[in-house]
Amino acid sequence: MLTYWKLFWSFFKIGLFTFGGGYAMLPMIEKEVIGHKWAKEKEILDYYALSQVTPGIIAVNVSTFIGYKIRGFLGAICTMIGVILPSLIIITLLASGLSKIWHAEWVQNAFWGVQLMIPALITPIVLRMIQKGSKTLLSIIVMIMAFVLRQYGVSPIIILCIAGVLTIIYFKVKKKK
């Protein structure tokens, strides 16, 4: 039972301290999931890849994947509910009467301040990922492709499809040699 509660609580915190969803929750996942040794970094990247190409909100999908991986169906329910519950509570409060607080200047400034921190929190994680991940010719080719195409606004789904095709070609060629 303890684990279900722990799972829920970790993902409740992730939901509460994620501003922007999807990739923005990476620093919280690194601390709460990889830090607890519940999943490895490369598994998280796999879940992001899969969440990009499946229907739904990336943050919810990644949370469900992790929950299922750790404790099966019930684990997935814990992490999914955990990650959406803070939104449900905060937005319900804001939408039903607390909007005055929202418009207070100090609240706006606090949220503005938080927005500045989000990219800074992801920067060291993503740079370490890139450094660790760029060991093979394949990964370097894929990285250049993904970055350039993304800068031109190509959809992540198409980028991942191209990456998949490149990988198959790479391993076929490698096998022949």
Partner 1 sequence: MIYLELFWAFCKIGLFAIGGGLATVPFLFDLSAEKGWFSIADLVKMIAVSEATPGPLGVNMATYTGVQTAGVLGGIISTVGLVVPMFVVIVVLSHFLKHLRKNKWLDAIFEGLRPAVAMMILSFVIGLFVMNYQTADHMGRPLLAVLLSVCYVILTWHFRGHPILFITLAAVMGIICG
| Span 124-143, contacts to partner 1 by CB under 8 A | 124, 126-127, 129-130, 133-134, 136, 138-140, 142-143
Does the footprint of partner 1 cover residue 53 (CB under 8 A)? yes
Q: What is the largest CA-CA distance in the chain?
A: 68
Task: Fill in the DSSP letter of residue 134.
Answer: T
Q: Rounded to the nearest 5 degrees, what angle is found at the Cα of 72, between the Cα atoms of 81 and 83? A: 20
Cα-only R_g, the chain: 19
Does the footprint of partner 1 cover residue 164 (CB under 8 A)? yes
Does the footprint of partner 1 cover residue 3 (CB under 8 A)? no
**Distance, CA of 33 to CA of 153 (rounded, Å):** 30
3-state secondary structure of 36: coil
Q: How far is the CB of 148 from partner 1 (least distance, A)?
A: 9
Binding marks (x or -) toward partner 1, 88..107, rule CB under 8 A? Answer: x-xxx-xxx-----x--xx-
For partner 1, the closer of residues 5 and 147 by Cβ is 147
Q: How far is the CB of 129 from partner 1 (least distance, A)?
A: 5
Neighbour-count burial of 69, counting CB atoms closer than 10 A to its CB (0-12 exposed, 13-18 middle, 19+ buried): middle
In the numeric block, the tokens 């299922």 are attached to: 68
- Which of 120, 173, 176, 177 touches partner 1 by CB under 8 A? 120
Q: How far is the CB of 4 from partner 1 (least distance, A)?
A: 16
Does the footprint of partner 1 cover residue 116 (CB under 8 A)? yes
For partner 1, the closer of residues 3 and 174 by Cβ is 174
Does the footprint of partner 1 cover residue 7 (CB under 8 A)? no
**Distance, CA of 126 to CA of 95 (rounded, Å):** 35
Does the footprint of partner 1 cover residue 68 (CB under 8 A)? yes
Are the beta carbons of 75 and 4 closer than 8 angstroms?
Answer: yes
